Chains A and B, each alone.
Chain A
């Protein structure tokens, strides 16, 4: 069970990710499966990149969207569990982190749509060979099977 003081971190070595036009796009380079997360999901992803705690993420979602604390908590928990399940993130144990500055309070909260991790497995083969740049040198790389270490 994830706790609200847990921080997650993207598994940078085998996951390429970027928020493009407000949508988070993620590719698991190990198997070519890719993912998208719109709006709330993109915000959550940016905060994960900044190593925020799940509690801080819930708070940011609540401040930016018209959503109850209970709902935001449930959705952040669910999405975080899915990201872990898909091996896109790991629990961040220690070390320094840089925060994404999301402190500026929004003018007003906008309508909420529960965040969703869209998964696209159909193109897996198509993307399986070329992108995985076995990061030799400056892109260290590990087999997903080693992820537990």
Chain B
């Protein structure tokens, strides 16, 4: 029996620093059938040079800078796999991530989405910050309802829709809330299979205040929808 193809979509904007490591973590996956699609979101650094190293092992797409949601959507449209996974250009996968997720899909045919736990880690330059948060919950494994951990049946995106390109920070949370509302069947693996790098230019860090406001609006919209569909609730 052949394993289904998994399309790995990596949006990148000015990701020269960590992109290579991110892609290596895809190429070292133990799962056998992958295609790698990198969507360059109008980078102005040497992202293209990093991509060139990988040659035809990756499919490289380019768009003018429109944000990660639009980049993921472009990658999705180009994907040929029956399953789709996403990785950000600064994060890493455990070598067995996709293998363990695909094992879930094999044993649970009803499953639509599979996510994993995430471990944050700090770049060496931010050691002081890492020390400061040593005992904080963000240094412990967290349930990762975010795109970097997601492996999903392609059909789910027909049902739930694409990522909302109007959102700059909350597109991932918005998508998961919509998926939950649609009744998508989700599995959260207890193991840490995704590593999120905290560095000086994390998108969420740069726009912390905007991100909070956007989140509140997403939650408000989600509540409004919920009440509309359940008048008593």
Contacts and interface: CB of A to CB of B under 8 A. Distances in A.
Nearest to B200: A136
Nearest to A137: B205
A36 B233 CA distance: 13
A127 B173 contact: yes
Contacts of B14: none
Given A17-B216, A130-B204, A139 B143 contact: no
Contacts of B176: 126
Interface stretch (A23-31, A43-51, A62-70): A23-31
Contacts of B118: 129
B125 to A, nearest CB: 13
Interface string A65-77: 0000000000000
Contact of B180 (A17, A36, A126, A134): A126
B209 to A, nearest CB: 7
A133 B204 contact: yes
B182 interface: no
A134 B215 contact: no
Give the interface residue-count category, chain A.
Answer: 20 to 34
A140 B212 CA distance: 13
Contacts of B209: 138-139
A125 B222 CA distance: 15
Contacts of A23: 220, 223
Interface string B205-233: 10011011101110110110000000000
A130 B146 contact: yes
Contact of B215 (A16, A125, A143): A16
Given A130-B172, A131-B211, A133-B211, A16 B216 contact: yes
Interface stretch (B35-43, B62-70, B134-142): B134-142
A132 interface: yes
Nearest to A134: B138
Contacts of A30: 137
B137 to A, nearest CB: 7
B136 A134 contact: yes
A18 B216 contact: yes
B146 A129 contact: yes
The 4 A-B residue pairs with the shortest CB-CB distance in the complex, in nearest-first order: A16-B212, A125-B143, A139-B208, A126-B145
Interface of A: 16-18, 20-21, 23, 25, 27, 29-30, 34, 36, 120, 123, 125-139, 143
Interface of B: 118, 129, 133, 135-138, 142-146, 169-170, 172-173, 176-177, 180, 188, 198, 204-205, 208-209, 211-213, 215-217, 219-220, 222-223
21 contacts: A18-B216, A20-B217, A21-B220, A25-B216, A29-B212, A30-B137, A120-B223, A123-B180, A125-B143, A126-B176, A127-B145, A127-B173, A127-B219, A130-B204, A130-B215, A131-B212, A133-B204, A134-B198, A135-B208, A137-B208, A143-B136
